[in-house]
A and B are shown apart, each in its own frame.
Chain A
């Protein structure tokens, strides 16, 4: 059974601080995706990581993928309030099934 685990599940951090969200998955995959969801809204794609060692950055967010360790990280630099949201990682196993982690609810405190 495929498992996609994120930690932490809840994260409260002060503005200006750095933090990392972790996504572990239990089976081989070289495709991993990060999404953001605001309360009551749909999911918005943040990053697409398609190979071992892939690193993508957008503003204060940086995502990386280590397929050998089956681990992806989402690093937040100098957090701002606008980053408050729930972040999901998703693993593509067969090209036709995206399996999602349980999400990390991030609150950035002024």
Chain B
């Protein structure tokens, strides 16, 4: 049972490049999330998806887009990366009211 799987684990981008972070869960959870973690700021919600076919903005959605491809997969896209998007990105999934389960994270650096 893999849980929540994120790819890639590490990525370096140049300013203006685009990329997609992939996330898949095998726990049959309805809800999926994308967070970013920056030093001293905890985790901030970027986007979430309450169910297949729906997505909603979180606290810090600017500069990002998401796709809930199916129940298992939720991707995060950076169309034009900026240095301010250097962060660690976590994908998570949950089935209310249980807790959210997190992937291993993607460490992204934008130079």
Q: Which residues of A contact B (CB under 8 A)?
A: 4, 9, 31, 33, 35, 41-43, 45, 48, 50, 88, 90, 92, 95-103
CA distance A88 to B41 in the complex (A): 11
List chain B residues, Cβ under 8 A from A33.
99-100
- Shortest CB-to-CB span from A29 to chain B, Å, is 11
Contacts of B35 in A (CB 8 A): 100
- Chain B 71-111 interface 0/1 with A at a Cβ cutoff of 8 Å (1 = within): 00000000000000000001010101111111111000000
B residues near A, CB below 8 A?
Answer: 31, 33, 35, 40-45, 48, 50, 56, 58-59, 90, 92, 94, 96-105
- The residue of chain A having its C-beta at the shortest distance from the C-beta of B44 within the complex is A100
- A43, A95, A96: residue with the most chain B Cβ atoms closer than 10 Å: A96
Evaluate contact between B99 and A45: CB separation under 8 angstroms.
yes
B42 engages A101 (CB within 8 Å):
yes
CB-defined contacts of B31 to chain A, threshold 8 Å: 95-96
* B109 nearest CB across to chain A (Å): 15
- B45 lies within 8 A of A99 (CB): yes
* B13 CB, nearest partner CB in chain A, Å: 20
Given contacts A42-B90, A102-B40, whether A50 and B97 have CB atoms under 8 Å apart is yes
State whether B104 touches A42 (Cβ < 8 A): yes
What's the least CB distance linking B45 to chain A, in Å? 6
Q: What 8 A-B pairs come out closest when comparing CB atoms? A: A102-B42, A100-B43, A96-B50, A45-B99, A100-B42, A95-B96, A43-B102, A42-B102
